[in-house]
Structure 1
């Protein structure tokens, strides 16, 4: 183990202790293994999953039944390394891929480590996240970022990785067309990423006028109000449909807007069960799939931001220190909010 500065034995962290109960506590600084690095956290983005755990205490089968530190969209600086990690990494600014697969299961061996059944993922019970001064990650999942990239943009490479995975699954290519349901944070990042992947037509639907207007500033070529336009029968005929809303009606209508041989990708968290237009899926051989996190996306994400193809900095609409992390988790109630950032610094 190598470190250049003294690491305190304890650190401040915002700990979820119950539904809508978050308090700043002094907790042990995490220990790091031989293949891991210790990171001083610079910025953490607030994700919809964080707010869901905060408000409801669970997401599906993942239940918060013990104190939990939230936050999995993060950047920071390496301050110490394990015995198997080069000392030269100390001091690097990094974006964190917040997962620890087992490396040995069938899915890991097939390169689908995001589907690892023994995955340890930040801020998913019982694994602590990054609303804290320090965190630990395996060496290969601490991705060096250029000095030109802000801490906040580096943290938001995580939701950008979701969008990159989505575009890959949707087979978005130069000249293709895509419909995105939902203009929240993921929908907006998906619109930008679709543009970066070369999509010629990017249609975004949302119920909220302000969100539709915002989508036009971030890559959408056209926006729709689904209350005024029946997406299913509007003749959109898109190559791909992406649901970033989780709304059952949006999913049903969006799939029907896909042309023969096209793809529908379900990203948004919605009902555990919903109706699908089976006749359309069968007769037009539409591929319907989901995404669950990501594999090998950070290099692409770093390139897209560094090349100016995706703008993450302007998505930040609120900044909070650790003592106000609860307010950050509630900031999505403001219709003008897009991404909140927590800075856990000392």
Structure 2
């Protein structure tokens, strides 16, 4: 076990209540179950939730009341395994699913473990995250990366799984028209998955033109820049630009912004499906008449569930989803605060922080 080697340290970037970071050495994780796996963290992508905890100290009922390690979109190399960690071996390059459900509650037993009330999710107070040297997870939370995917790119498997989950909630996408609001990492990955799932029209929508210029690389057939107009006017112009004047079969909102949600409900076709993927304000005003008049199916999407990570890996392995260019900013472990600041300022598309002592060459190398 790695803990037996006293020369190793588990360096961590820790968030204080109040919003400042500091570095400290934490205890080395050890195998506690015969299904446990210990992973040396190579790369961690920054998520909006990480930035929100840094800036505001809480998300809903989860409050940063004591020092917390952030980070949950991680890849690494397996350094130790329990005796029953089937399918995983020391040296494997893996993406980590950062939540461990109880597996006994009603939600878990029904195959919806993402709704488990006792979920232990990395970087959700009081559970520490992955901005550290070593991290322990069960073997079922380790997914071997395809040989052509770097460990830096692999940090996108977690948000790709979010996109997979959202698209699966929308049902059959074959030959369907899909509009995705938000051309950030999750929105672009939603475009990519919708295309991989057979959508004939995929429209990326954003207010920032520079983000839309790359959307075609990730499956978008059309783009639309939101204008300074009402959601109703934007919906008409959007549908005309996408050549789906009768409405889109599926709307995926990855923004959580009220104008986008309202626009989407005006743009969805009669009998269509609206999936809420992104989170913004906890309460928004909706045009409920549109929902009723068109018998729209409205669903919330929360993280990912059974099979979503495996599907994400499969899409990458088959090269049906392209990650090239999504990671635009990479930082060393000593640059954590700078990385958070740049994400808050919407610099680039996706930011990744290397693990302690990790060099760019290791993070960006592939197995074949």
TM bracket (short chain): over 0.9
Deviation at 1:345, TM superposition (A): 3.1
- Residues of 2 paired with 1:239 and 1:297: CA distance? 22
- Residues of 2 paired with 1:88 and 1:216: CA distance? 36
TM normalised by structure 1 equals: 0.94
Cα distance, 1:313–1:217 mapped onto 2, change above 3 Å: closer
Whether the aligned pair in 2 keeps the contact of 1:239 and 1:258 (CA below 8 Å) is: yes
Deviation at 1:216, TM superposition (A): 3.1
CA-to-partner distance for each residue in 1:230-250, whole Å, 9 max, x for gaps? Answer: 233344400011111111111
Cα distance, 1:335–1:172 mapped onto 2, change above 3 Å: farther
Deviation at 1:3, TM superposition (A): 6.0
Aligned with residue 343 of structure 1, among 333, 347, 354: 354
- SS of residue paired to 2:214: helix
CA-to-partner distance for each residue in 1:86-136, whole Å, 9 max, x for gaps? Answer: 596222111111111001000011110110010000111011111000001
Equivalenced residues, count = 345
- Residues of 2 paired with 1:259 and 1:320: CA distance? 43
CA-to-partner distance for each residue in 1:56-99, whole Å, 9 max, x for gaps? Answer: 11111111111111110011111112243359622211111111
Q: Does 1:144 align with 2:155?
A: no
1:309 aligned residue:
320
Cα distance, 1:7–1:168 mapped onto 2, change above 3 Å: farther
- Residues of 1 paired with 2:99 and 2:344: CA distance? 28
Which deviates further from its counterpart, 229-238 or 113-122? 229-238
2:303 aligned residue:
293
- Residues of 2 paired with 1:19 and 1:223: CA distance? 39
2:15 aligned residue:
16
1:258 aligned residue:
268
1:332 aligned residue:
343
Which deviates further from its counterpart, 4-13 or 18-27? 4-13
Equivalent residues in 2 for 1:190-205 (5 A)? 190-205=190-205
Deviation at 1:17, TM superposition (A): 0.7
1:323 aligned residue:
334
- SS of residue paired to 1:108: helix
- Residues of 1 paired with 2:311 and 2:318: CA distance? 10
- Residues of 2 paired with 1:20 and 1:345: CA distance? 21
1:243 aligned residue:
253
- SS of residue paired to 2:331: strand
1:40 aligned residue:
40
Whether the aligned pair in 2 keeps the contact of 1:172 and 1:194 (CA below 8 Å) is: no
Whether the aligned pair in 1 keeps the contact of 2:75 and 2:93 (CA below 8 Å) is: yes
- Residues of 2 paired with 1:183 and 1:279: CA distance? 28
1:232 aligned residue:
235
Deviation at 1:12, TM superposition (A): 0.5
Q: Which runs of 5+ in 1 are unaligned?
A: none
1:6 aligned residue:
5
- SS of residue paired to 2:213: helix
TM normalised by structure 2 equals: 0.89
- Residues of 1 paired with 2:72 and 2:100: CA distance? 12
Which deviates further from its counterpart, 164-173 or 239-248? 164-173
